Structure 1
Amino acid sequence: MMKNLRFRLFVFSLLIWFTPLTYANHIVGGELQMRPSGGAGRYEVTLIQFWDQNNLTIPRPNVSGNRDEFANLYIYQKSNKSYKATVTVDYLKTEQLTYQNRACASIRSLNTSIGYYRGSIYLDPAKFNHPDGYFIVWERCCRNDDINNIEDPGDSGMVFYLEFPPVTVANSSPVLVEPNGQYICSNRSFSMNMSATDADGDELRYSIATPMRGNTDPNKSIGDSLSKSSYPLVSWSRGVSITNAIPGPGPLRVDATGKVTVTAGALGLYVFTVQCEEFRNGRRIGVVRRDFQLLVIDCNDDQPEPPVIRQNGNAVAEVTFCPEMPVELSTDDAVDWSYQWQLNGLNISGATSATIMVKDSGSYSVVKSYTKKCSRDTASSVVRATFAEPVAAVISYGKSTICVEDSTVLLANDGLIGAEQTLVWYKNDVQLEVTDPMLTVHEPGLYVVAIDDEVPGCPGRDTVEIIRDDFAVALPDRKAIQEDGRDFITPVVTPEAASYSFAWSPGDGLLSAQDEKVALITPVREEELYHLTVTSAAGCTVEDSVLVYMMKRMYIPSSFTPNGDGRNDTFEIFNAREQIVLMRIYNRWGELIYKTEGYEHPWDGTYRNVPVPAGSYPYIISTEAQEIQGTVLLLK
């Protein structure tokens, strides 16, 4: 059988030169995934392909290849198989599959990688609402022709298939675990994890199914969107069926947990499908099918002694550790041995030495094999790694927000620290000198207490963030309000917040409510000092004051006579000194002939020291409260 397999592999390598690169003979399995992405009706769809690197040609400039840069997946309605939509997925990345027995993988030229394609699509809930649901397919031809358990594999296509419910039902498809790089030793029991996880917590049921060959062939290697009445299955070879897809004394099975088992009796390469059905409330709402291939080889019975996992030189079955303090597990090391560490039965990428740093909880094991010869490998017993319970550490405090020039007290474990325990306080990751369980805090920051004891384990930690409620209020120093008048005083509070409360005092002359932010005041005395207290939601307060003084009403004469007789020689505005901010006077052509900021000297009827002619002169007088416009008559 092995000679026949080698001959077929040799012939197949020659035929590669005559095989169109559009064929998919590098694809040895895969599946589809689908999950919500963003708003209602938006989905992310992933196409996963398992590649035989020996048959893969990556496209390059001026060099064609068989790795697709994109793929079209087609969506159909289950009830009538009508075409509904196309989702295009683009090549995303490649990951190498790790074989736990590298010597056998190298000798048998086992070199497998995983290719990922991803795209997104919007499915209108008003259109994708049929209760029977929908399905997605990807079709491609042709399979590698060295498969032993189906007829005419080199002319047979493949179909990756996924069912999903109407989009009005929130759902993600099951996600099958990434497989280990494995092969089967003939007449030896074999197991492999093909389980899935489901983001929605739905019930998952597994079965072995016959792969689909679909509707592609060597003359039509890529599927299209036309509706198909069915997707034909592959034809099993003589003597092979779904009950013995991999012939041997122990038929190929998958249990309720997704664990695939088989004891193979014949050498060769075998294809099969693991089907994962998704049930909710007893009703099937989804299906994912994974196409997969496994090689059966004749393994040398020379098997190394099972490895023993140790910690600090001692054999262990369980280890506990702190998340921030990884522990090292090791096994005996020798140049003739190779290692592959596993977590929960899955190969850990790159973990191929005799030691491993344990950072995650779970079940650890190590597979041991010979470095230079292909023989049976052996595995250690499982070591269960769990996170240790930390020492109790709890910070209690009266308040987490402090005011300016205020403080708060942090108390670790209610002040009860054992004699065997050590305590350290940190502020913004900087260790403080205080080792007492009570810490008085005057400054904002992130405070951490770490408590440890003499018993090996994890130090306890607790964190609290102290915030300073730092804000300010500003009022003008003085505010002039005209006698019998009224005016607003607006405070400036920084930073702004809607949660501040306000209190003005005294109430005399205050026309607005005392708890209003903006005060409306009419003077009742020559001078009055008004106080404002601003209180934040945390109870912190700031204050400021403004002196309000009464201004006499301005008197603006309608005319003046600058003739030098000492009477009414200037345009003098009475009670103006504390009121006028800016004053401008124009001639009848609109030319500015007089301007003063404030009011120190009245206009004497000249422009550039030359008397102006008699007539009417417009003016604009600006005060803090208003702008006054009028004309004054200059008489001669």
Structure 2
Amino acid sequence: MRLHFYVFAALALLFALPARATHIVGGELGMQYQTGDLYRLTLTLYFDAINGNVGALDPDATAGIFEQGTNRRIRNITLPLTQNTFVPYTNIACTIGSLSTRQLVYTAALELPANVYNNPRGYYVAVERCCRNNSISNIVGPGNAGQVYYLEFPAVVRNNQAFRDSSPRIFPPLSDYACLNELFYFDFGGTDSDGDSLAYEMSTPLNGNANSLDPRPSQPSAQPYSLITWNAGLSQSAQMPGAPTLSVDGRSGRLTVRPTRLGLFVFGVKCSEFRRGIKIGEVRRDFQLLVINCPTNRTPEMVVVPPGPGRAAYVPGRDTMRIRSGQDRCLRLRFTDPDPASQLQMELRPVNFTAQLPTPSVRSGGVRMPGQPDTITSTLCFPECFSTQGRVYLLDVIVADNGCSLPRRDTVRVAFTAEAPPNSLPQVSLIAPPTQFPIAARVGTLVQQDVLGLDVDNDAMTLELTGRGFSPAAVGAQLVTLTNANGRITARLTWQVDCRAVDRQLYEFEIRAAANPCQLRQTSLPVVIPVRVDYQNQAPALTSSFPADTAVVKMRLGDRYVAQLKGLDGDLDGMTWAVVDDGVPLAATGMSFRVADNRAGETNAVFEWVADCGAVEGKQLEVGANAFVRNLTFELRDVTCRPVPRFRTVRFEIIRPEAPEFLPPNIFTPNKDGRNEAFQLTTLPPDFCTQRFADITIFNRWGSKVYRSTDRNFRWDGAGVVTGVYYYLVKFTDGRTFKGTVTVAP
């Protein structure tokens, strides 16, 4: 309920203490990664807008960056004021005139190069300022107590890799006050943009070196920093009088306290940042909490009545509420407040489940005010399909008032089960099943089988096709829906068996009917359609008229060679021929290969070659010692899913003409006696295509040419030369040469 104005007089008395230029409520530092080496450093300071001296609003703040371990100052940075706003109350209706806080934001860009900020121990940032509020009740000398805004951050490089980190964005600012002897709670937790883990703990606020004589040092000092001094009976673990005292949840950052004394109390919270279990940073924040006398606010009341006529109110912990199918499924909710003129808000909070809840008919309203009832009535009706699936669900039904500073609540924890309507499983069966199972099939067989799905509840259905150990789609099988209406569905399994099916013999198709009543999937037992694929393949047989023993065909220029090839396949498969060559087309060497006829299970082909100089002159054949050679492989392949080819390799040779032993004469006597009158070379190698005799040249001993002829049947009679030794050189067109001497005798 709204705070009455008569409280203001008590608050004025509370703050009627001497006020100097004190103003600090709290604050914290934060650093966020931007890009590259660039970060943004921000100081958020909270200023007492009621008691603070406006002249103490600084236009900027000076931050110092230090190295951990050595406390070496790296640099100072000036943070200009960029934002000055008021912190709103959680509930604006609870506003009081003596509590108003400004949020001041000081920020600037900051570069952290890796060659500077690489100390494995990390770094810290500090800003020092004085002074705190004079009226703080739990520390010694608050008007002369300073504050250190403190942040730790890691090196920007780790294991020679860039290490990026943004400090936690912590704590929404505390704008509310607490009521004496009333439970106070506030979500002081934060978030981390890097996904790091955050841990919270109470900490003693830092005092530092600033004081009332030097409230704003020209630059912050390095560690260590002095702490504020607690009043007698208080400590870091008991920072303000309370039962329980002020504490923070280590995981969520939620603050909780039931204060037992009026006053203004400062407190500190530390947030540590962990990555993969290793602490990498820390942010500290201290703030203050005002405790006042609040008007009496009694707790609202919530009553839950189970479904059914004449039922008594539900008693938590005594029984489990049962919501049955086909019966009343509505809970009656009645909530009220003993205080006059209360605004109430009802909420539902699942405890051990996540199912979506129905919407209550009424969520909020006023009671005990003119024209308004004393009790608000609402209904919560569960739809027929809502089911707890046999589990006991726990649901908190909560009503909260609008009391200050925080609402009071009443909670009824309902344990309940809910049944969905009964439902029969769908069924599936074969239409006109085959007389024999498994269904026999070969490659090329079309398998078709119709199936029927039925659901006695007339639920919508689908038929689903799966395979035992295989994917139907991977072998080309599919299930096509034919009709689908009113709990009846028909479909057809269609499978054109092809080569994808020959890897296994038995294919078992499963078809299930599936329905989804109340979003709960139900499937029938499957029908199984087994198909046995019969696939066998014999290798074809290849025969030919090529020599059976050596598979070498020797030919001379001008010879014509013809070979017959035959293929037979016991499975009556079609067959194909191919010639595996050395990359040179057959026609380039005058060869030809053609299929004479091709029918099921039988094929004939003809190979033909007329050996001529075209192959030799084109240099398409391998040059052997005494022949020009070409190797060909003839391949016969059956046209089937898993062909077994057969090969025949043949070596073709064009034989060079045999050359006589080269026995040149070394003397002749041109004396006209009719014997040995001229020089001739009758044992030269014979001409072979373009490899022919080119010329002969004869030189005297001084290298002068005395004779030349391009006729391989030349006859040199030594005319015009004197007796003596002469030298001859014979050339062939393929580069071969023959050299020697011959003597012209008298």
Give TM-score scaled by structure 2 length. 0.41
Q: Which has the larger radius of gyration?
A: 2
